[in-house]
C-alpha cells in the first residue's frame, strides 16, 4: 500500500460542492492499494501512520505523532499513487488494485483507523473529489508498505 501523508492545519474534501470530510490539525492521507495488497499491509500502514512522529514538541523537534497531539485523520482513496511513468507520457495504473479490491482494502483501512483513533474522516471512494488543505510546514511524507513475502 502507498500513502502520501501531509501534516495539515486543516483539510477538507468536497464532492459536488458538498463537504464530505473535514479535519482541523492532523494528517491528510492519500491512500492507494496495489495489486497483491492484503489486510496485513493495511494494518502495517495504519500502525506506521498513527505512530509516525512528524508533529513538533515544545522544542520544535518532530517528536509527536498524530495520536500524541489528538489530531484528525482525513483518509482519501487515490489510485493514481500507483502510477507507472517509466514509459511514454501517459501514466499506467496496472499496479493499482482492481476497483473492488481497492474499495475493500480502503474500507477495511478506514474501519481499522476508526477503531484505533477518535477523529477519522474520509472522502468518497471512486468519486471525483476536490481536496483542500493548509499544509503545515510544509511536511509531506510518502510511505509504501510492501507485501511480506512468505518463504
Domains and CATH numbers, the chain: 2-143 (3.50.80.10)
Share of the chain above pLDDT 90, in %: 96
CB-based contacts of 143, cutoff 8 Å, min separation 6: 2, 3, 4, 5, 45, 48, 49, 52
Q: How far apart are CA 27 and CA 119, in angstroms?
A: 11
* Catalytic-labelled residue, pool 3, 78, 112, 121: 78
Q: What is the pLDDT of residue 103?
A: 97
Q: Is 80 a catalytic residue?
A: yes
pLDDT of residue 150: 61
As a whole number, the mean pLDDT across the chain is 96
114-122: average pLDDT: 98
Q: Is residue 76 predicted with pLDDT exceeding 90?
A: yes
Classified as helix, coil or strand, 124 is: coil
From the candidates 3, 6, 55, 79, give the one annotated as an active-site residue. 79
Percent of the chain clearing pLDDT 70 (strictly above): 97
Q: What is the mean pLDDT of residues 68-93?
A: 96
State the average pLDDT over residues 67-95: 96
Active site residue 79: yes
Cα 142 from Cα 32, distance rounded (Å): 11
Mean per-residue pLDDT for 83-93?
Answer: 95
Out of 80, 127, 130, 140, pick the active-site residue. 80
pLDDT confidence bin for 146, thresholds 50/70/90:
confident
pLDDT of res. 97: 96
What is the predicted pLDDT for the residue at 45? 97
Residue 150 a catalytic site member = no
Amino acid at each position: 500500500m502507498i500513502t502520501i501523508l501531509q501534516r495539515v492545519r486543516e483539510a477538507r474534501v468536497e464532492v459536488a460542492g458538498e463537504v464530505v470530510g473535514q479535519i482541523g490539525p492532523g494528517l491528510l492521507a492519500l491512500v492507494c492499494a496495489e495489486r497483491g495488497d492484503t489486510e496485513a499491509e493495511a494494518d502495517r500502514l495504519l500502525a506506521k501512520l498513527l505512530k509516525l512522529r512528524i508533529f513538533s514538541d515544545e522544542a520544535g523537534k518532530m517528536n509527536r505523532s498524530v495520536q500524541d497531539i489528538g489530531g484528525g485523520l482525513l483518509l482519501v482513496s487515490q489510485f493514481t499513487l500507483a502510477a507507472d511513468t517509466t514509459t511514454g507520457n501517459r501514466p499506467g495504473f496496472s499496479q493499482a488494485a482492481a476497483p473492488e479490491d481497492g474499495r475493500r482494502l480502503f474500507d477495511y483501512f478506514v474501519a481499522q483507523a476508526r477503531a484505533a483513533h477518535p477523529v477519522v474522516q474520509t472522502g468518497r471512494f471512486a468519486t471525483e473529489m476536490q481536496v483542500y488543505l493548509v499544509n503545515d510546514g510544509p511536511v509531506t511524507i510518502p510511505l509504501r508498505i510492501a507485501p511480506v513475502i512468505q518463504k
